[in-house]
């Protein structure tokens, strides 16, 4: 094989002189019969090899490898070029040779770097057809075997059963949520202390109220009133809901006590869940098994199969 320098200074490969009467014979003929031009790699990519290109263009394989090596940066613009050692038979036994694995862009580029004689032109057309045929075959819908059809049918039935089970569970959960909501909204609301135990049982009582004061849900007037005898008491508005808290907390009338009407802060029934979510968003650790709407008990969680 000889190399010449074209006008673009890239090395090119020319084929050896083969008598016209010989045709394709010997090693070339054997490779033509036993090796397809294009194959699919393990990762599903259509590839050919430097050996197959050398055979199809009647070039020495070492010269083709040299051409790839001298222009490797150009080839790797279209993806990395892999090399592997492949066995081949000789009179002295099995030997191995280094072969480049080329994708479609690599192979096309390699052929453009070769002198464009009739043999190379013919192989270019065969290579294009081979890659095109492999793509067409890959895109065709292959008929399913009876076993594959049966497996897909079973998979589809299992998916339907799973979807039905999820729908049933969601319906049960919705019923529980609605029952809780009706129970909540049907009463006068719960005391803030009970509210804290219900939704934030891991938070200490004092820490729970400190949060309500700090985040301005309740008025904090601890120790702000001094009696005539010097005793210190909380202010008259202590623990009443603030402007922020009034949409969620109201003063429940507990009646007359000692001649005075007394009030207790309670959570508005219709806003109980919203208040729970608002406090959780502020960082209070809410109890587990919360659906985002209502608290679900452990027994109900077991009943739902969770």
CA distances from 64 to 31, 57, 59, 78 (A): 16, 10, 7, 18
Q: Is residue 238 part of a domain?
A: yes
* Domain match, 245 and 202 both: yes
pLDDT of res. 295: 46
Q: Is 155's pLDDT higher than 50?
A: yes
Q: Is the pLDDT of residue 59 over 50?
A: yes
Higher pLDDT, 148 or 60: 60
Band of residue 140 on the pLDDT scale cut at 50, 70, 90: low
> Do residues 172 and 265 share a domain?
yes
Helix 272-281 and helix 192-199, axial crossing angle in degrees, nearest 10: 60
Q: Is 164 left (phi over 0), alpha (psi -120 to 50) or beta?
A: alpha
Predicted pLDDT at 301? 44
pLDDT for 182 equals: 64
The pLDDT assigned to 185 comes to: 58
Q: Given 139, 167, 184, which residue is the final one in a domain? A: 139
Q: How far is CA 294 from CA 148, 158, 184, 271, in A?
A: 46, 32, 9, 11
190 and 279 together in one domain? yes
In terms of average pLDDT, the best of 240-249, 255-264, 296-305 is 240-249
The answer on 165 and 58 residing in a single domain is: no
Beta bridge partners of 233: 225
| Calpha distance 224→217 (Å, rounded) | 18
Least confident of 22-26, 58-62, 202-206: 22-26
**Whether residue 279 sits in one domain with residue 169:** yes
| pLDDT band, residue 306 (cuts 50/70/90) | very low
Domain of residue 247, residue span: 152-303
In a domain, 220, yes or no: yes
Higher pLDDT, residue 168 or 49? 49
Q: Strand locations in the chain, DSSP E? A: 3-4, 12-13, 39-40, 46-49, 82-90, 93-103, 225-226, 232-233, 249-257, 260-267
pLDDT in tens, 173-218: 777 767 666 655 556 788 899 999 989 999 999 999 999 999 999 9
Residue 123 lies in a domain: yes
Residue 147 lies in a domain: no
pLDDT (0 to 100) of residue 248? 93
What's the rounded mean pLDDT across residues 53-69? Answer: 92
Residue identified by tokens 């990762």 is 43
Q: Do residues 46 and 125 share a domain?
A: yes
Tell whether 82 is covered by a domain: yes
**Residues 67 and 161 grouped into a single domain:** no
72-81, 127-136, 287-296 — which one is most confidently predicted on average?
72-81
Asked if 84 and 210 sit in the same domain, the reply is no
Phi, psi of 58 (to 5 degrees): 60, 45
Which pLDDT value is given to residue 34?
61
Residues in contact with 201: Cβ distance below 8 Å, sequence separation at least 6, in sequence order: 287
> Does residue 163 lie within any of the structural domains?
yes
| Structural domain count of the chain | 2
**Is the domain of 157 the same as that of 264?**
yes
- At residue 103, the 3 state secondary structure works out as strand
pTM given for the model: 0.38
Boundary (domain end) residue, out of 139, 160, 193: 139
Pair 129, 175 in one domain: no
3-state secondary structure at position 72: helix
Domain endpoint, select from 117, 139, 161: 139
Residue-averaged pLDDT of the chain:
79
Domain match, 156 and 124 both: no
In a shared domain, residues 120 and 238: no
Could you give the CA distance from residue 42 to residue 216 in angstroms, rounded to a whole number? 65
- Average pLDDT for residues 45-72, to the nearest whole number? 91
Tell me whether residue 71 is in a domain.
yes
Q: What is the pLDDT of residues 92-108, one digit of tens each?
A: 888 888 999 999 999 99
Q: Per the domain annotation, does 145 fall within a domain? A: no
pLDDT value at 25 more than 50:
no
Lowest mean pLDDT among 21-25, 53-57, 137-141, 144-148: 21-25
- Report d(CA 18, CA 21) in Å as an integer: 8
**Per-residue pLDDT, 28:** 53
């Amino acid at each position: 094989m000889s190399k010449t320098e074209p006008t673009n200074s890239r090395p090119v490969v020319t084929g050896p002189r083969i008598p016209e009467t010989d045709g394709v014979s010997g090693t070339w003929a054997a490779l033509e019969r036993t090796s397809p031009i294009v194959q699919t790699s393990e990762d599903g990519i259509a590839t050919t090899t430097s050996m197959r290109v050398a055979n199809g263009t009647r070039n020495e394989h070492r010269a083709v490898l040299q051409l790839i090596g001298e222009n490797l940066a150009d080839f790797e613009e279209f993806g990395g070029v892999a090399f592997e050692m492949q066995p081949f038979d000789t009179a002295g036994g099995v030997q191995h040779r280094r072969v480049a694995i080329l994708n479609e862009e690599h192979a096309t580029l390699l052929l453009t770097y070769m002198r464009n004689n009739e043999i190379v032109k013919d192989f270019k057309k065969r290579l294009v057809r081979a890659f095109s045929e492999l793509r067409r075959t890959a895109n065709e819908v292959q008929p399913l075997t009876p076993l594959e059809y049966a497996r897909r049918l079973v998979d589809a039935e299992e998916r339907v059963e799973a979807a039905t089970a999820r729908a049933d569970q969601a319906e049960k959960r919705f019923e529980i949520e609605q029952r809780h909501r009706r129970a909540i909204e049907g009463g006068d609301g719960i005391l803030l202390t009970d509210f804290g135990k219900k939704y934030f049982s891991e938070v200490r009582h004092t820490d729970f109220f400190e949060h309500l004061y700090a985040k301005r849900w309740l008025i904090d007037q601890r120790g702000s009133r001094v009696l005539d005898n010097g005793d210190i008491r909380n202010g008259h508005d202590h623990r009443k809901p603030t402007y922020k808290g009034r949409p969620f907390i109201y003063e429940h009338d507990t009646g007359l006590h000692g001649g005075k009407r007394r009030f207790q802060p309670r959570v508005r029934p219709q806003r109980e869940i919203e208040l729970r979510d608002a406090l959780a968003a502020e960082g209070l650790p809410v109890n587990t098994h919360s659906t985002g709407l209502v608290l679900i008990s452990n027994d109900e969680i077991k009943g739902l199969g969770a």
